Amino acid sequence: MSPNNNKGAFYVTTPIYYVNDKPHVGHAYTTIAADVLARFKRLDGYDVKFLTGTDEHGQKVAKAAADKGIEPQALCDANSQNFRDLAKTLGISNDDFIRTTEERHIKACQALWKRLEDNGSITLGKYAGWYAVRDEAFYDEGELTKGPNGEKLAPSGAPVEWVEEESYFFPLKEWQERLLKFYDENPDFIGPKSRFNEIYSFVKGGLQDISISRTAFSWGVPVPGNPKHVMYVWIDALTNYITALGYPDESGEMAKFWPEQNPVALHLVGKDIIRFHCVYWPAFLMAAKLPLPKRVFAHGWWTVEGQKMSKSLGNAIDPTALVEKYGLDQLRFFLMREIPFGNDGDFSEAAIAGRINSELANALGNLAQRVLSFIAKNGGGKIPVSHSTSDAAYLIADADLIHKSHELLDHCREHIKRQTYGEVLEAIFELVRAANAYVDIQAPWALKKTNPDRMETVLWTLLETIRHIAIIIQPFTPSAAEKLLDQLAVPSHERTFFYIEDPKEFASPHQLKSGTTLPTPTGVFPRYGDPKAAAGKGA
């Protein structure tokens, strides 16, 4: 708890993951990105709620369970646990984990449904289309091909038949203009910008009403008053974001994290599901006369060694194996650092090894080690004294580095606002490089003989810089940052951003106190690939 922990509410969510999926690096990516955001905002004094969970309904789950000869709920229980385990493996700081088969969620969905119905936004009609039993999917007329006997075939080659079933509809078309107006008024609703443009032109191109119930299967949330129907995926899945806030109770967390004025909710999603989050979801909410989230950010996909990840190739990577191989902090860092958030990127051994060694080990890890071990050997193992000086060259050099440290937080905040994680880390490493350059230029090992006071000042300045870096990098590499702060003897309650919220003046009120005894330094970011480092990869 820092003294400034009252900057307001912040709500961040991952998508709920489909229980039929095996957790892979894509899931890890979204979840880590959300976690970094949650940690950053907490450290910055916000009241944060961070939600993740699993999506458990649908025909595929029912079928998978039937194939195994177990109840769908049993399958969900087992598979949902995989995602909980993943969160644990990744050091995720989520405040809640929602499952769509939970009672609270079923209640919330039904309440939302009734509200839509009361507002005249649900109508009963017929859903008709070409259905391929083998694929369990409907296809458009245009997607179909003709078989050798003139019969219609799905793109997969499966035969299709014309199927009509009773279905409830949501009049999405009616919301087209209001959605466009909303986008116009909230240009930051969707990130990155390219996705905003996509959604905008999609909506502008004309919307069709959507089917929101099914009768072909029963593994879903029953439609109130007509249990023959279950709600169809998106109305079920999207509602999770407000279920977790206690909806239909609109006081409490709903009021706090889902307000009409100054919305605070941010949905992180993969680019495959932006339409549901940026078109359907706002339309549902508007129709229900509920507030909207603040922003939806769609990230890209990872390829692996240049190859697309796919079930058929079987090259999806198990995040747990990555954590074991590279270390958790290293994996988190790499995923956030390697590509601009929103772009696609490639996960390769060479790339992650390069990042770990050149940035974490050589630049940052070595900076800390060279300074701390120098102090341990030459500074009595205590935080040195920053001596005043009248030498202009010294003043400028010191002030420059301290000034850069003081500016870092604001720069990072700006980037976090737009989820440009790579820029946050770039800003941090600019300071790391500046600090390394400062060590070389000031050369404390030479000052040891010629000017011990100056040596102390230089070391103090470096420690204070490292303190800033360690505090601000916590969201990305939590456990290494913790070790580093331990080595700087920073009390555990003085590690929030409040303590690097610096004034314009040279001296920060929370700067390191001279004379404090420091523990024996040990490396926090070992090089990857060094035989010596093999034991310490967890950093």
Partner RNA sequence: GGCGGGAUAGCUCAGCUGGCUAGAGCACGGGAAUCAUAAUCCUGGGGUCGGGGGUUCAAGUCCCUCUCCCGCUACCA
Segment lying near RNA (by CB under 7 A), choices 219-227, 242-250, 508-516, 518-526: 518-526
CA distance linking residue 502 with residue 471, whole number of Å = 13
Cite the DSSP H helix spans in 121-273.
176-185, 193-204, 233-238, 240-243, 252-257
- In this structure, the dihedral spanned by the alpha carbons of residues 514, 520, 521 and 522, taken in order and rounded to 10 degrees, is -160
* Contact criterion met (CB below 8 Å) for 298 and 315: no
**415-434 mask for RNA (x: CB under 7 A)?**
------------------x-
What would the x/- binding string for RNA be over residues 235 to 254, using CB under 7 A?
--x-----------------
Whether residue 30 contacts residue 17, with contact meaning beta carbons closer than 8 Å, is answered with no
514-532: b or e for each residue (b if 16 or more CB lie within 10 Å)? eeeebeebebbbbbbeeee
Residue 293: closest CA among 15, 13, 27, 8:
13
Nearer to RNA, 46 or 175 (CB): 175
What is the 3 state secondary structure string of 503-521?
Answer: CCCCCCCCCCCCCCECCCC
Q: Using CB under 7 A, which of 87, 210, 287, 424 touches RNA?
A: 210
Q: Does 121 bind RNA (CB under 7 A)?
A: no
**Span from 43-51, 85-93, 231-239, 288-296 in contact with RNA (CB under 7 A):** 231-239
Residues 263-282 that bind RNA (CB under 7 A): 271-273, 275
**Contact letters (x/-) for RNA, 143-182, by CB under 7 A?**
-----------------------------xx---------
Pick between residue 38 and residue 352 the one whose CB is nearest to RNA: 352
Interface positions, 5-24, toward RNA (CB under 7 A): 18, 20-21
Query: Where do the H-state alpha helices sit in 251-337?
Result: 252-257, 274-275, 281-287, 319-326, 328-337
Q: Specify the stretch interacting with RNA by CB under 7 A; choose among 104-112, 217-225, 253-261, 525-533.
A: 525-533
Pick one of 13, 30, 211, 330: the residue that binds RNA (CB under 7 A): 211
Residue 166 Cβ, how far from RNA at the closest point, in Å?
14
Phi-psi sector, 381: left (phi>0), alpha (psi -120 to 50), beta? left
Instruction: Indicate the residue among 92 and 524 with the shorter CB distance to RNA.
Output: 524
In the complex, what is the shortest distance from the CB of residue 271 to RNA, in angstroms, rounded to a whole number? 7
Is residue 309 within 8 A of residue 348, CB to CB? The reply is no
Distance CA 296, CA 459 (A): 44
Is residue 47 classed as helix, strand or coil in its secondary structure?
strand
Nearer to RNA by Cβ, of 257 and 297: the residue is 297
Closest distance to RNA from the beta carbon of 39 (Å): 21
Q: 97 vs 138, which CB is nearer to RNA?
A: 138
Nearer to RNA, 45 or 523 (CB): 523
Q: How many CB atoms lie within 10 A of CB 507?
A: 11
| Span interacting with RNA, options 218-226, 310-318, 490-498, 520-528, rule CB under 7 A | 520-528
Q: 58 or 384: whose CB is closer to RNA?
A: 58
Give the β-pairing of 190-191 and 137-139.
Answer: unpaired
User: Between vectors from CA 183 to CA 177 and to CA 187, what angle results, nearest 5°?
Assistant: 160
The interface with RNA within residues 445-464 (CB under 7 A) comprises 445-446
Per-position DSSP letters for 251-273, written without gaps between them: SHHHHHHS-SSS--EEEEEEGGG
State the virtual CA torsion across 354, 355, 361, 363 in degrees, nearest 10: 110
Sketch the per residue contact string, 340 through 379, with RNA: x for CB under 7 A, - otherwise: x--x----------x---x--xxx-xx-xxxx-xx--x--
Q: Which residues bind RNA (CB under 7 A)?
A: 18, 20-21, 55, 58, 60, 137-140, 172-173, 194, 197-198, 201-202, 205-208, 210-211, 232-233, 237, 271-273, 275, 339-340, 343, 354, 358, 361-363, 365-366, 368-371, 373-374, 377, 433, 436-437, 439-441, 443-446, 523-527, 530, 533
